[in-house]
Amino acid sequence: MSKNLIEVEGLSKHFDLGKGRILKAVSDLNFQIREGETLGMVGESGCGKSTAGRTILRLYEPTAGAVRFNGTDITKLSGGKMKAFRRDMQMIFQDPYASLNPRFTVTDIIGEALDIHNMAGSRAERKKRVEELLDMVGLNPDHATRYPHEFSGGQRQRIGIARALAVNPKFIIADEPISALDVSIQAQVVNLLQDLQGRLGLTYLFIAHDLSMVKHISDRVAVMYLGKMVELADSEELYANPRHPYTQALLSAIPVPDPEVEANKERIVLKGELPSPINPPSGCPFRTRCPIATEKCALEVPALVEVQKGHFAACHYA
């Protein structure tokens, strides 16, 4: 088995809203990402998956905990040292419209990353590198002088990928990279991400709410609920044998594009909605909607424990 590239230990991010109110976006995350693997992270809006991604990259300063990249805890690094690590860790954003500067040409969008890290060299070298990156993500290098509005959504997402790749990163966090795209375009971008991973040996944290796509792309999948990780397993195992009642409900809620499957499916419809992360329930965060919750669940916080080899769940009854 390959070594861990990322080790997350006790990572929390709490936002102070003033007047003594604390929003616990992410609490006590513990997991590792192995070199060359894709870890999928799923959950509904407000579960903390994006905050987790941003805190790992220190786009948000963590409230507690450590993030080790190749053994070095990056949460304690000074600005200058952190900058060196930023080359190794890049991000692809959800909205290909909002994450590209509309006043920059493609050359400048991608070139900016090269400039910041002094990787550009001469003007000609910079231009050559940008063209090489565009070719790598399947765009026409002749379009380097165009502006973002001249591209379609799928093409813009390719520009975002080229920008992330410009500094030769080892680790990429993709935060909902395909949810703004049409179905027929999503597959193009996902295939590109997989090709690049094979060619460049990248490690991914793939954050999404589309569980079928996460299953397709990930080696292992982590399920988040209300700021906590409730289950983590190999993707085949997680989908075949979900142990946490939330994961079970989440999987059964996805409509499958096959009328035969849909006609015979027993769907677990959860009652109620996500509680507020400002005032989360005591004990297990899921107990207010859980079909099998007992008194114990209100009193004790279930820890994320290994229920089977490589399969972790945070439930007293998993």
Partner 1 sequence: MQPILQVKDLQVSFQVRGGEVKAVRGVNFEVGKGEAVAIVGESGSGKSVTAQTIMRLIPSPPSIIKSGEIIFQGNDLTRKTDKEMEAIRGKDIGMIFQDPMTSLNPTIKVGKQITEGLIKHQNLSAKEAKEQGIEMLKLVGIPNAESRFNQYPHEFSGGMRQRVMIAIALACRPSLLIADEPTTALDVTIQAQILNVMKDMQKKFGTSIILITHDLGVVADMCDRVVVMYAGKVVETGTKWEIFQNPQHPYTRGLLRSMPRLDQKKNEKLIPIIGTPPDLIKPPAGCGFCARCDEAMRICEQVDPEVTQLSDTHMSRCWLLHPMAQEVKSS
Provide the binding-site residues for partner 1, judged by CB under 8 A: 44-45, 152, 154-155, 182-188, 190-191, 194, 209, 211-213, 215-216, 235-236, 239, 249-251, 253-262, 267, 269-270, 273
Closest CA to 270 of 284, 257, 259, 254: 254
What is the closest distance, in whole angstroms, from the C-beta atom of residue 118 to partner 1 in the complex?
A: 36
What is the closest distance, in whole angstroms, from the C-beta atom of residue 95 to partner 1 in the complex?
A: 14
What is the closest distance, in whole angstroms, from the C-beta atom of residue 13 to partner 1 in the complex?
A: 21
What is the closest distance, in whole angstroms, from the C-beta atom of residue 69 to partner 1 in the complex?
A: 27
Q: Could you give the CA distance from residue 38 to residue 221 in angstroms, rounded to a whole number?
A: 9
Pairing of strands 38-42, 203-207: parallel
Q: Could you give the CA distance from residue 68 to residue 32 in angstroms, rounded to a whole number?
A: 9
Nearer to partner 1, 251 or 314 (CB): 251
Q: Could you give the CA distance from residue 163 to residue 192 in angstroms, rounded to a whole number?
A: 14
Q: Could you give the CA distance from residue 283 to residue 287 in angstroms, rounded to a whole number?
A: 8
What is the closest distance, in whole angstroms, from the C-beta atom of residue 53 to partner 1 in the complex?
A: 18
Nearer to partner 1, 254 or 278 (CB): 254
Nearer to partner 1, 44 or 112 (CB): 44
Asked if residue 147 lies in contact with residue 156, where contact means CB atoms within 8 angstroms, the answer is no
Nearer to partner 1, 213 or 222 (CB): 213
Q: Could you give the CA distance from residue 283 to residue 32 in angstroms, rounded to a whole number?
A: 25
Nearer to partner 1, 126 or 158 (CB): 158
